[in-house]
Amino acid sequence: MKVGIMGGTFDPIHIGHLIAAQCAFEQSALDEVWFMPTNVPPHKQQAPGATPKQRWEMVCKAVEGHPYFRPIDIELQKGGVSYSIDTVKLLKQQHPGIHFSYIIGADMVQYLPKWYKFDELVQLISFIGLQRPGYELDVKQLSDQVRQAVSIVSMPLMELSSTSIRERVAEGKSIRYMVPDGVYDYIEVNGIYGS
Ligand code: ATP
């Protein structure tokens, strides 16, 4: 079984994240994509931001009933700052037999060798780099090690970020269609981001 890991702050999760996951799913022939909210240490939390519990619940709402998208709370449960290498080791321990890939933006691919314990990490997982229009990854610049570990998939340009969504809510503008309906309702009911 092949599983893609989509990590993020998800403050809040939006359709850019979901479309990215869908593109990775299709083009890398994955069986599932797991959405993994990262833990944000209190001093780094955005104001006005959602609590870890709210970020988690929004991710759950976004993938509720989906046949192959799943939420996982492995890093939230652990707390603190998680290194990918530790998360991957834990995932593989809990799910032997699953082949994991990290889904990352193509702009991040060139920095992979700088990731903590990359040499060890690359033995355990592979990477899916999302190529966005307007950013051309120069594959020739990559080392053989990185090139072998990464497969590049394409996705349409979605000019959307969690930051812009938080700002729109704070300004009283609508975020309908930018987030799934369940997330839209959740933000409104719980008065998140100054709604
Ligand atoms: P923020 O604005 O708070 O920094 P964000 O929208 O970039 O948030 P994150 O939770 O930091 O969201 O992102 C998780 C992952 O999703 C990252 O790898 C990021 O590159 C990717 N991502 C976010 N928005 C988009 C988008 N519109 N299209 C493609 N990928 C995206």
Give the model confidence (pLDDT) of 127-174 as tens digits.
Answer: 999 998 887 888 888 899 999 999 999 999 888 999 999 999 999 999
- Please work out whether the CB of residue 162 comes within 6 Å of at least one atom of ligand 1: yes
Give the model confidence (pLDDT) of 81-137 as tens digits.
Answer: 999 999 999 999 999 999 999 999 988 898 999 999 999 999 999 999 999 888 788
Closest CA to 84 of 115, 40, 110: 115
Query: What proportion of the chain, given as a percentage, has pLDDT over 90?
Result: 84
Predicted pLDDT of residue 140: 84
- Please work out whether the CB of residue 49 comes within 6 Å of at least one atom of ligand 1: no
**Ligand 1 atom closest to Cα of 107?**
20
Predicted pLDDT of residue 160: 93
Q: Give the global pTM.
A: 0.95
Q: Answer for the pair 105, 129: CB distance below 8 angstroms, yes or no.
A: yes
Give the strand pairing for 99-105 and 126-131.
parallel
Predicted pLDDT of residue 135: 79
**Ligand 1 atom closest to Cα of 9?**
10
Question: CA dist 88 to 5, 28, 59, 81, 110, Å?
Answer: 10, 19, 20, 14, 20
Predicted pLDDT of residue 65: 94
Protein residue with least CA distance to atom 16, ligand 1: 17
- Please work out whether the CB of residue 131 comes within 6 Å of at least one atom of ligand 1: no
Question: What is the C-alpha separation between 99 and 93, in angstroms, rounded?
Answer: 12
By three-state DSSP, how is residue 38 classified? coil
pLDDT average, residue stretch 22-28: 97
- Please work out whether the CB of residue 17 comes within 6 Å of at least one atom of ligand 1: yes
**Picking from 10-24, 40-54, 175-189, which range would have the lowest pLDDT averaged per residue?**
40-54
